[in-house]
Amino acid sequence: MCGIAGIYHLETPKPVDRARVEAMCDAIAHRGPDGQGVWTAPGVALGHRRLSIIDLAGSPQPMASPDGRAMLVFNGEIYNYRELRQELRALGEEFRTDGDSEVILAAWRRWGPQCVTRLFGMFAFAIYDLDARTLFLARDRLGVKPLYYAQLSDGSLAFGSELKALTAHPLLRREIDPLAVEDYLTWGYVPDSRAILKGVCKLPAGHSLLLRHGAPLPRPAQWWDVSFAERRRGKPADLEAELLHLMRQAVSSRMISDVPLGAFLSGGVDSSSVVAFMAEASGNPVRTCSIGFDVVGLDESAYATKVARLFGTDHAARTVSPDDFSAIELLAGMFDEPFADASALPTWRVCQLARESVTVALSGDGADEALGGYRRHVFQAGEDKVRALLPQSLRGPVFGALGRAYPKADWAPRPLRAKSTLLSLAGDSAQGYARSMAFLPPELRDTLYSPDFLRLRGDYRAEDEVLALMRQAPARSGLDRAQYADLKFWLPGDILTKVDRTSMAVSLEAREPLLDHRLIEFAASLPERMRVQRGQGKWLMKRAMRRYLPDDVLYRPKQGFVTPIAQWFRGPLAQTAREIAASAPLARTGWFDQRRLQALVEAHVAGTSDNSRLLWQLLMLDRAFTGLGIL
């Protein structure tokens, strides 16, 4: 696990200033405190920061192939590198190290750009081919590891593992993209299709770029996708067995490490399942860690303790107080772009706790997206049944009118909060799901913007990309399309960004076994009833795991990491909330209706409505603008 950066001249192979790449690497030093290196040649420079995990002494980077033809910088882990090494050795390749980096180089020599299809793991890497004078950039299938890039005014392309690597380059254009602000206020993050700065791109998950001197910057080429179009047949017992085999295989392959390894344990289904298979594969107690809260209703540490005792783990737990908001400034700095998933705070704290005893930690991320585990998946399946019964010509006007008239009852029990459901049913399946994913619906966003911003935004709506993804998805049902959107949009933009930045901030490698692409492809082929059934998500997984986990772990309501931001903004952060509305960086943009923001703040502080997510979004946006230093 590391950080990478580099510069490549697209026009002519002009010399590259080594100091610039060194500065880019220094900006992401937290990703790799164990080593660093920069390599230059005419028209190209590659930089690397290393966190040593495998072959601790034998795989420094940038790494050259044995024949000197290719040079690599690599962030991630290749879990099938031992099998690939054997295959490549049989084809005549020679190896000098015991790590996975050299296997990538050998795979490139043998298969060229198609080498990515042979790599099982999480990765973002760059290979410069000295003979062809090409630069190849690639990102893993699900987008576990990030890769930013931007074309600069001198004709070069700069790339790096985080945006802060690019902002270390003096030629990077530093202008906020207002459409990214629309995206951010909709989703709570800037998705992979855009960046907060104009001209900056993120290489999409499962895509690659092949750059040549003298050729224009090409569009990324997709090399992997997941399909929900096929349906696997079989008895539930047989599908259970296959699922368990894939989960077991995914976990064991991610336990390869030359440094201490452990797991995050929340006490939920996913992390508990990972720990179960780790305990099964390990001859020693698994090291686990969890974070609890001293707020009634938010703490689930008792379940983590129960699972830890069940599998005899070496468990560490820590309680986070509501006054943990003191870390907000540090948290905002980890992401560069605005990021409003408040669970990033406890995720960072559990990463800190894990790093005290291990360098690698396995997480349970990915099962919800793959196997239909979110509450919105259950709602989507149910709402699609209603849509099938009533034509759009009837649902649109009837449910739309009811939804607009229904009050926004934040205070009411969940079954009585019907406004979002009615508005969802008024649209088609894709429109309904996009609404369920959004932090802020379009009718609320529009009240926040100034006339100037509305003119800048024009016809653009953040939901359009999700609608296109769902409508073009290789899928059969509304649930299929919803999960496809989660895997392609929500997962890399929110979940994996959160885990990557918070773990790398403390130089911890996080691995996600439930995102093994073979497991994802299997889950996508399951009949819908094997994913969502009788109001239960992850139906087949829970059924399969009953031999390992008790029912009160498997079937309790999903909770996840929850941060008490509503209480914060009515208590110790009330004044901070009031200051947000008059924030100098936000005010200088001229993009927001300051009076409207102030009214929402006061309504929240007074307890008449819950606007905590919006306030957190605005706070993180303010801190991101301040951190970028351009407003």
Is 605 in a helix, a strand, or coil? helix
Measured between alpha carbons, how far is 287 from 440 in angstroms, rounded to an integer? 39
- Residue identified by tokens 């619906």 is 441
d(CA 2, CA 162): 11
Where would I find the beta strands (DSSP E) of 517-581? none
β-bridge partners, 314? 287
Going through 478-615 in order, the beta strands assigned E by DSSP cover 509-511
Which residues have a Cβ under 8 Å from the Cβ of 536 and sit 6 or more positions away? 378, 542, 555
Query: Are the C-beta atoms of 135 and 9 separated by less than 8 Å?
Result: no
Cα separations in angstroms, 15 against 5, 20, 305, 397: 16, 12, 57, 63
Residue 168: partners with Cβ closer than 8 Å, 6 or more residues away: 20, 23, 24, 26, 27
2 catalytic per annotation: yes
Q: Please state, in angstroms and rounded to a whole number, the distance separating the CA atoms of residues 344 and 563.
A: 9
Looking at residue 481, what DSSP letter applies?
Answer: H
Backbone angles phi, psi at 288, to 5 degrees: -125, 160
Catalytic residue among 2, 115, 201, 289: 2
In this structure, the dihedral spanned by the alpha carbons of residues 614, 503, 515 and 364, taken in order and rounded to 10 degrees, is: -80
Amino acid identity, position 585 = P
Give the C-alpha separation, 11 to 154, whole Å. 9
Token reading at 267:
């006490």
Q: From the centroid of its chain, how far is CA 432?
A: 23
121-129 and 70-78 strand pairing: antiparallel
Integer Cα distance of 127 and 134 in angstroms: 8
- Tokens 């929900």 belong to 228
415 cis-preceded (ω within 30 degrees of 0): no
Write out the catalytic residue numbers: 2
